[in-house]
Homo-oligomer: A and B are copies of this chain.
Amino acid sequence: MTSERDLIAAIARRAAPAGADAGPPGLLQGIGDDGAIWRPTPGTDSLVTTDTMVEGVHFDRRWHPPRLLGRKAVAVNISDIAAMGGTPRFALLSLGLAGDEEQPWRQALLDGLTGAVQEYGAALIGGDTVRTTGGVMLSVTIIGECRQSRACRRSGGRAGDSIWVGGPLGLAAAGLELCRRGLGKDAAWAEAVRAHLDPTAQVELGQRLADSDLVHAMMDLSDGLATDLAHICTASGVGAEVEASLLPIPPLVSRAAAECGADAMTWALTGGEDYHLLFTAAPEHDQAIARLAGEVPGAAPARVGRLTGQGGVVLRQPDGSSREIGYGGYEHFS
């Protein structure tokens, strides 16, 4: 392993320049000092989120290509900024290396990471590198902005709201299981495997929804619809009813579930890591939401149920039966 100084230099070469004439607007000092300095855009609130990925817990180096791993570490954080309707501005990286990584592997990891930061319109402005005694660790912090008082939160949901997801459910869970089974390179599963290895944050969708003023509550789908909806219900003091028949489960997920002897519905509800937006809005705006969200590239909005006055998250089957699925309830009963 090269020295920490060499590694920091390699990161700094990929990082944003700073100053009046170069680099992203507002950035006064990037990597190279005790901290980074920026001037917030007048009329905005600042947003920050941080998320850590640990080898052997959140990812597997055996099948996760380093470039895509770097991209994912960025995307899952940007997704949190997207879920508030914000614009990602700056990224910080804490990179933990075990010491057994080959130089090309590290290079590809940094390429993916800095490439994704740029793609989302942000700039890498700081971080540190450490040696770990376990495996690789990637801790990313994203700083974003939104118009004052316009950040979307989890707590604004109202009984009667329609519940929406920004795209199909279960693909990432299918992709993970396919990779586990050594089927990750099979072209037939490419879409699911990509959803697991290289998720996309719905930044434009989040911004459009926030600008529309129609959204009451919003978050991103990281833990699965059942748990994430429970978060919105708890924060908003409402319940939720999800219609099983409305869940956007792609045929590919059903085929993968059959291949793996798994249950597509379980993946869709509890698999997690879809990183689409989950949001609620008044039912009289169903058409407006469908139109607005449908125009955003990469978004495939689907209404999946409604918020209720009762507590808990309930899944209703086509036969009229229903059961509690929030906070692990789904696994418990299935």
- A residues within 8 Å of B by Cβ? 28-29, 32-40, 45-58, 80-81, 83-84, 86, 90, 92, 94, 96, 125-128, 130-135, 137, 139, 141-144, 146, 148-149, 151, 153-155, 219-220, 235
Most chain B beta carbons < 10 A, residue from A40, A84, A90: A40
Q: Are B45 and A139 in contact (CB under 8 A)?
A: no
The answer to whether A128 touches B50, judged by C-beta atoms less than 8 angstroms apart, is yes
Q: Assess the A46–B54 pair: CB atoms within 8 A.
A: no
Which of B28, B80, B130, B144 contacts A52, CB < 8 Å?
B130
A48 touching B90 in the complex, CB below 8 Å, given contacts A58-B130, A219-B33 = yes
Contact B29 A38 (CB under 8 A): no
The 10 closest A-B pairs by CB, nearest first: A134-B134, A35-B49, A133-B134, A34-B80, A40-B40, A34-B83, A56-B133, A52-B94, A139-B139, A52-B130
Shortest Cβ gap from A33 to chain B (Å): 5
Query: Which of A48, A57, A58, A128 has the most C-beta atoms of chain B within 10 angstroms of its own C-beta?
Result: A48
Q: Out of B50, B134, B154, name the residue touching A141 (CB < 8 Å).
A: B50
Also in contact, A45 and B37, with CB within 8 A (given A132-B134, A134-B134, A135-B133): yes
A258 to chain B, nearest CB (A): 31
Closest chain B residue to A81, Cβ basis:
B35
- B34 lies within 8 A of A128 (CB): no
- Asked if B80 and A49 make an inter-chain contact with CB atoms under 8 angstroms apart, the answer reads no
- Of B94, B125, B149, the residue contacting A48 (CB under 8 A) is B125
Q: Least Cβ distance of A265 to chain B in Å?
A: 23
* A125 to B153 alpha-carbon distance, docked (Å): 15
Give, as a whole number of angstroms, the nearest-CB distance from A233 to chain B: 14
**A57: which B residues are within 8 A, CB to CB?**
130-133
- A50: nearest chain-B partner, CB-CB: B92
Residue contacts A-B, CB under 8 angstroms, 15 given? A33-B155, A34-B219, A35-B84, A36-B47, A37-B146, A38-B45, A38-B48, A49-B126, A50-B127, A50-B128, A54-B130, A57-B133, A94-B139, A141-B141, A143-B143
Please state if B134 and A34 are interface contacts (CB–CB under 8 Å).
no
Q: Is the CB of B50 within 8 A of A94?
A: yes
Given the interface pairs A130-B57, A134-B133, the reply to whether A46 lies near B50 with Cβ below 8 Å is no
Check A54 against B92 for contact (C-beta < 8 Å).
no
In the complex formed, the residue of B with least CB distance to A5 is: B327
A96 touches B52 (CB 8 A): yes
Is there an interface contact between B151 and A37, defined as CB atoms closer than 8 Å? yes
Residues of B within 8 A of A154 (CB): 32-34
User: Would you call A28 and B45 a contact (CB within 8 A)?
Assistant: yes
Cross-chain contact B35 with A80 (CB below 8 angstroms): yes
A35-B80, A50-B139 known, 4 other contacts, Cβ within 8 Å? A36-B47, A50-B141, A54-B131, A57-B133
CB closest chain-B residue, reference A98:
B134
List the B side residues contacting A51 at CB < 8 Å: 94, 128
Nearest-neighbor residue (CB-CB) of A218 within chain B:
B34
